[in-house]
Structure 1
Amino acid sequence: MTITNMLKAVLIGLLVFVALPELPGQIRHKQLRKEVLESQQPAGKPSRRERVTPKPIPVPAPVAPIRTPYEQPNARIIVMENADLLSVDQLMRPDLQLASGNVRFRHDNATMTCDSAHVFMVSNSFVAFSRIVINQGDTLFAYGDKLYYDGNTKLARLRGNVRLENRKTVLTTDSLNYDRISQLAYYFTGGKIVDPENTLTSVWGQYSTSTDDALFSKEVKLVNENFTMTSDTLEYNTRTHVSNMVGTTHIVYKNDTEIFTDKGWYNTDTERSMLLNRSKVINKEGKELVADTIFYDKRLGYGESFGKVVMNDTVQKSTLYGNYVYYKEETELGIATDSALLVDWSDIAKPMYIHADTLQTYKQDTLYNHAKAWFNVRFYRDDIQGLSDSLFYDGRDSVLTLYRDPVLWQENQQLSADEVRVYTANKKVNKVHLEENSMVVEMVDSVHFNQMVGKEIIAYVDSGHIRLVEVNGNAETVYYAREENDSLLLGANKTESSKVVIHFKDKKIDRVVLTSASSGVFYPLHIVTEEKTRLEQFFWAENRRPMSKEEVFYRFPAGERPKIAFRTPPPNKEEPLEKTDGNTTGEAMETPSSELD
């Protein structure tokens, strides 16, 4: 081949090479070089061409959209203070640095160390691997296997064997996000917080390193040396050791006392609590306390309750109600006021309802239960009713004593005196003792009344009926005689004696026995008048007699007793109580919010 032909071939080859399109690799190389040059161009000096913001490199670290420190004026650049080995691919990934060996970063007042890291300079973030340690202000330390850190948002995401230490509080979990701006750490795959007093576990949790406030949700459990608390949702402060219960919560003490609530607070240091929303406290002695609001001091062993309070004793079979109740555990003292009511349902067929301005129950010598009532006392049971100014029940002797103008009713009989003592056996009345100004009145019909008056009267009761009455000292009686085997009245016997014994049969006077020194007169029925047959002390106050459990709340104006007054429907009748016979559920029994004046 001649030289001329060779030159022609070379020229043709060059023309063909120039005409060929660029290879894909060459095109990518030029584009990458162009992006790198533009990204390194100093701020404030735009390129000749229209400036193009470089596209962010996708990395797993940031949660929020990537913004450079230049785009966030308040963000500070992460400083790498040390690394044994640092490499950068200026051509392919000039924004990515690979650091390994004793890597240490500083960002604001926090230092972060690890074995190796991928540093993203443009996004001001890094991913750290192995033996992660975060130290902030020498009080907060965090450890983990892997760390995603965004310097713009100051969000640290720790994964694997995570441990957060803040003074005396330690949080452990598998995954933890820590926001350094809000100083909030939260986990979502289960975690545990331990302080010197308590250990808390839950599925989800949030902890503030600045305020020591923590919020727990789902399967929450707080363990203390004295109790265990489980809840749906719980707020807790690791410094004050106060927990706020905002979900269904159950507290169990080592002495078997239990608390059920869905709202309130509890101080694990002082063992004081405030419970709301009809919370319940149950102790091992069988007492249950339910109220709108309960203040409870476990250490001192007392509680105060407000609003529709129900204190139920399943052992003694009694229930104490009131809008305010005070309770002392050691003596089992209970004091109720404001619509106070004591229900004794030991005899389920005949529960006793006692109302007064103030009611008190307590245990003496850990064996006997006692009860006291002050002012405007009224009580009701199917077989006996009564009222007085005050009352005392002695559980040792099973004696009920009424003071100041007491009146008792049983069937068609009324008993009154300065002081009345009711003796019981096996929960049944067997004797009534009237002392000073004693009187027993039995209604024969609406006009005629049998009457017994003396310094002392003792009535013996059998199967709920009076079978014998002894009148001692200045005894006076008026009793109506009947035709034998007939209900027709013949007249009235009026007697005076030092002692009278009256026998009853079939709920009626059968015979009267007088002492030898006695006097008497018989008035035929047609000449019977009130003046002749009404003793000086006589009165009949059936209108004040409580005839149902609701009527123990009725109140009458103070003043002299009427000589005779039959029942009429009381005005302004209050709402009735709910049925409480055998009530052991602890539910509130509706009681009148106020009493009649």
Structure 2
Amino acid sequence: MNNRLRINTLNKYIVSLLAICLFFTELWAQSPTFIPSLLPTPPRITLEVPKLELPKRFLPAIPDVLPPRIPQPVVRPVLTPSPKDKNLVYLENAQTLSFDQTFNPDVQVLRGDVQFRQGNTFMYCDSAYFYQQENSLDAFGNVKMVQGDTLFLYGDMLYYDGNTQMARMKYNVRMVNKKVVLTTDSLLFDRGKNVGYYTTGGKIVDETNTLTSLIGQYYPSQHYAIFQTYVKLVNPNFVLRSDTLRYDTQTGIANIVGPSTMIYKEKTIIHSKSGWYNTHNDQSQLLDRSVVKNEDGKTLTGDTIFYDKRAGIGQAFHHIVMTDTTQNMRLFGNYGYVNDTKKFGYVTDSAKLVQYEPSDTLFLHADTLYTFKDSIYNQAKAYHHVRFFRRDFQGQCDSLFYSARDSVMYLYGNPIVWSDEQQLTGNEMEAHFKNKELNFVKVLKDAFAAQKFDSIRYNQLSGKELFAYFKERKLYKLFVSGNAESIYFPLNKDSTLIGMNTTQSGFVTMFIKNKKIDKILLTPASNGILYPPDKTPADQMTLKNFIWEANLRPRDENDIFTFRTPAKASNTERHKVTMGSSGK
């Protein structure tokens, strides 16, 4: 009895188990075959139009290799009707379609030659998730997006939201727009605004240039891109590094909007924070105190610079500085022009030249300052209203020329030179330098040297030609030849005045010590008169062409900009009256 009961109970369990198996077998036969491990099931994301810095969102990873499919009956997808709404994403083609009834029944799983369409944009891939109700899709393997007939986007994985028209392409990304190619690891593409964003490094290549940066935006239809952080533009002729750069892919113009440095074949270096550079013709406009440096040691700085590298021509405006490190020289002004090919340049509008030397510094102003170079030597010219200051040497003239060949400064047009208490005048002058120090000054035609003795008396020396010699930056000797005349006031040992001595001679040599006349040498055949202090004739106290222009003398480096016209060299009534009033 007990055995029968046990057998009946066992039979019931077996029947129940068979019934359950039959039920699940029927249920399985009614559902499409789907293996969840074949494709990842990514979470849905809502892509937003980013600003320059893109928001970080979780994106599922695409598997490197999809496992082989288990043989199953082919299920042909039902294609959507002919598209009428340009805002909807339509499935154009797929070899198989399946559903995940258990986990996400709204997702269409597509395989094999998958194609989508939205408006005039087509998307291709090996497999995809299609969220038809959400008007979006996730594509995997050999992904391609084609927009019109000019824009192509390639990658390994795509997440696309048809409502916002935002696409995230991942891995081995390539955007091709005619002859412009953008490559990156991850690209966010806004179809509505037709702009692509990358934040993990990217590169754009066109026919001429290669541009790379950490962050970038590319506008295919507007033909320009914006690069930020570690920007590098490589051209066959130069390399440009910048913090921020805007580049026009049609014109080849790079707009500099951040600190940038351009090195042109290791010969020219440009520093700029603002401006533009045309990579097609090597012309540029640089702003905000930009600097152009050449290999020969010359530098051009200005608020605004127009520079043509091919022609070797640069123009600078406002607060400009032209520097020549080989000559320790700087030119300042408000307009400057340089021609690298001809080794020529000039500065005008408040022009100033500063020559730096270990012992002293020369400051010189003129209406226009020129610098140029022959085959070997540097030269400089100054035109009109020239004034200069150095502690041991000051002067003014109408024009000036300096040549490094012979280290001579030529002064023309009523030149006047001062050193210590001596004033030199004449029709022309030559200032000769040796080892960067003033060696001697040669005065030609109507040469004249004057020194103030007291408030009414002046030591004077004149002739056809005069030489003023310097030692250790001090005037120590004057030599005059050709109709030499002199007036000087000798002193006793107790510094009392002996009188006024006048001489006429073939030449006169006057030695200076402690800024005073120490002794005088004359030719043997000389004439002279010594007048006692109380019998000095007032009309004989000055030589012909005497003029005292102490008020014209530059007092410091800032006093070189105001030019004062000298009076005519003659025995003026001003001197006659002043000197005549002494009479003793």
TM over 0.5: yes
CA distance in 2, matches of 1:81, 1:506: 105
Q: Secondary structure at the match of 2:149?
A: coil
Equivalent of 2:44 in 37, 60, 63 = 60
* Alignment pair present for 1:363 and 2:363: no
> 1:517, CA displacement in angstroms?
4.6
Equivalent of 1:463 in 464, 468, 472 = 472
Question: 1:425-461 CA distances to partner (integer Å, 9 max, x unpaired)?
Answer: 1111222111111111111122211111222222232
* Alignment pair present for 1:85 and 2:69: no
Question: 1:144-201 CA distances to partner (integer Å, 9 max, x unpaired)?
Answer: 1111122222222111111111111111111111112211011111111111111111
* Alignment pair present for 1:191 and 2:202: yes
CA distance in 1, matches of 2:497, 2:487: 13
Q: Give the match for residue 571 of structure 1.
A: none
> 1:558, CA displacement in angstroms?
6.8
Kindly indicate whether the alpha-carbon contact (under 8 Å) linking 2:168 and 2:186 is maintained by their aligned counterparts in 1: yes
Q: Give the match for residue 533 of structure 2.
A: 525
Kindly indicate whether the alpha-carbon contact (under 8 Å) linking 1:75 and 1:152 is maintained by their aligned counterparts in 2: no
Kindly indicate whether the alpha-carbon contact (under 8 Å) linking 1:291 and 1:310 is maintained by their aligned counterparts in 2: yes
* Alignment pair present for 1:376 and 2:385: yes
- AA aligned to 1:108 is G
Q: Give the match for residue 451 of structure 2.
A: 442
* Alignment pair present for 1:334 and 2:345: yes
Question: 1:448-476 CA distances to partner (integer Å, 9 max, x unpaired)?
Answer: 11111222222232223333333222322
* Alignment pair present for 1:221 and 2:232: yes
In the TM superposition, 1:546-585 aligns within 5 A as 546-556=554-564, 560=568
Between the two proteins, what is the percent identity of the paired residues?
A: 45
CA distance in 2, matches of 1:489, 1:428: 36
Unaligned 5+ residue runs, structure 2? 1-40, 50-83, 576-584
Structure-2 change in CA distance of 1:63 and 1:152 (3 Å) = same
CA distance in 2, matches of 1:331, 1:349: 32
Q: Give the match for residue 299 of structure 1.
A: 310
Q: Give the match for residue 187 of structure 2.
A: 176
Q: Give the match for residue 144 of structure 1.
A: 155
* Alignment pair present for 1:258 and 2:266: no
After TM superposition, the structure 1 stretch with the greater mean CA deviation from structure 2, 510-519 or 163-172, is: 510-519
In the TM superposition, 1:45-444 aligns within 5 A as 60-63=44-47, 75-88=86-99, 95-345=106-356, 347-365=357-375, 367-444=376-453
Kindly indicate whether the alpha-carbon contact (under 8 Å) linking 2:86 and 2:118 is maintained by their aligned counterparts in 1: no
Unaligned 5+ residue runs, structure 1? 1-56, 66-72, 566-597
Kindly indicate whether the alpha-carbon contact (under 8 Å) linking 1:415 and 1:439 is maintained by their aligned counterparts in 2: yes
CA distance in 1, matches of 2:472, 2:202: 67
CA distance in 2, matches of 1:332, 1:320: 15
Kindly indicate whether the alpha-carbon contact (under 8 Å) linking 2:112 and 2:126 is maintained by their aligned counterparts in 1: yes
Question: 1:247-280 CA distances to partner (integer Å, 9 max, x unpaired)?
Answer: 1112222224222221111111111222211122
In the TM superposition, 1:498-513 aligns within 5 A as 498-513=506-521
Higher relative contact order (CA 8 A, sep 6+): 1
> 1:506, CA displacement in angstroms?
4.1
Q: Secondary structure at the match of 1:555?
A: coil
Structure-2 change in CA distance of 1:64 and 1:516 (3 Å) = closer
Q: Secondary structure at the match of 1:526?
A: helix
Question: 1:52-104 CA distances to partner (integer Å, 9 max, x unpaired)?
Answer: xxxxx996254259xxxxxxx97532222211112357899664322211111
Question: 1:467-496 CA distances to partner (integer Å, 9 max, x unpaired)?
Answer: 33332223221111221x332211111122
- AA aligned to 2:505 is S
Kindly indicate whether the alpha-carbon contact (under 8 Å) linking 2:214 and 2:228 is maintained by their aligned counterparts in 1: yes
CA distance in 2, matches of 1:359, 1:274: 24
Structure-2 change in CA distance of 1:58 and 1:197 (3 Å) = closer
Q: Secondary structure at the match of 1:551?
A: helix
CA distance in 1, matches of 2:43, 2:476: 100
Structure-2 change in CA distance of 1:432 and 1:300 (3 Å) = same
CA distance in 2, matches of 1:159, 1:492: 102
Structure-2 change in CA distance of 1:58 and 1:472 (3 Å) = closer
- AA aligned to 1:295 is F
CA distance in 2, matches of 1:89, 1:60: 15
Kindly indicate whether the alpha-carbon contact (under 8 Å) linking 1:62 and 1:148 is maintained by their aligned counterparts in 2: no
CA distance in 2, matches of 1:230, 1:252: 9
CA distance in 2, matches of 1:552, 1:254: 40
CA distance in 1, matches of 2:319, 2:87: 60
Q: Secondary structure at the match of 2:455?
A: coil
Kindly indicate whether the alpha-carbon contact (under 8 Å) linking 1:61 and 1:126 is maintained by their aligned counterparts in 2: no
- AA aligned to 1:60 is R
- AA aligned to 1:531 is D
Structure-2 change in CA distance of 1:473 and 1:520 (3 Å) = same
After TM superposition, the structure 1 stretch with the greater mean CA deviation from structure 2, 513-522 or 553-562, is: 553-562
CA distance in 2, matches of 1:141, 1:561: 84
Question: 1:300-349 CA distances to partner (integer Å, 9 max, x unpaired)?
Answer: 2221111111222222111111111112223442311111111111x223
CA distance in 2, matches of 1:239, 1:529: 87
- Give the count of matched residue pairs: 499
Q: Give the match for residue 30 of structure 1.
A: none
When the two structures are superposed, what TM-score results if normalisation uses the length of structure 2? 0.81
Question: 1:484-515 CA distances to partner (integer Å, 9 max, x unpaired)?
Answer: x3322111111223433333344333333333
Q: Give the match for residue 584 of structure 1.
A: none
Structure-2 change in CA distance of 1:77 and 1:505 (3 Å) = closer
CA distance in 2, matches of 1:91, 1:402: 101
Kindly indicate whether the alpha-carbon contact (under 8 Å) linking 2:185 and 2:202 is maintained by their aligned counterparts in 1: yes
Q: Secondary structure at the match of 1:461?
A: strand
Kindly indicate whether the alpha-carbon contact (under 8 Å) linking 1:479 and 1:494 is maintained by their aligned counterparts in 2: yes
Q: Give the match for residue 544 of structure 1.
A: 552
- AA aligned to 2:44 is P
Kindly indicate whether the alpha-carbon contact (under 8 Å) linking 1:541 and 1:561 is maintained by their aligned counterparts in 2: no
CA distance in 2, matches of 1:505, 1:112: 97
When the two structures are superposed, what TM-score results if normalisation uses the length of structure 1? 0.79
- AA aligned to 1:196 is E
- AA aligned to 2:464 is K
- AA aligned to 2:47 is V
Structure-2 change in CA distance of 1:92 and 1:384 (3 Å) = closer
Equivalent of 1:488 in 466, 489, 496 = 496
Q: Give the match for residue 574 of structure 1.
A: none
Q: Secondary structure at the match of 1:550?
A: helix
CA distance in 1, matches of 2:403, 2:104: 93
CA distance in 1, matches of 2:384, 2:541: 34
Equivalent of 2:486 in 468, 477, 488 = 477
Q: Secondary structure at the match of 1:481?
A: coil
Kindly indicate whether the alpha-carbon contact (under 8 Å) linking 1:147 and 1:159 is maintained by their aligned counterparts in 2: yes
* Alignment pair present for 1:453 and 2:462: yes
Q: Secondary structure at the match of 2:137?
A: strand
CA distance in 1, matches of 2:106, 2:242: 49
After TM superposition, the structure 1 stretch with the greater mean CA deviation from structure 2, 290-299 or 415-424, is: 290-299
Q: Give the match for residue 45 of structure 1.
A: none
- AA aligned to 2:540 is K
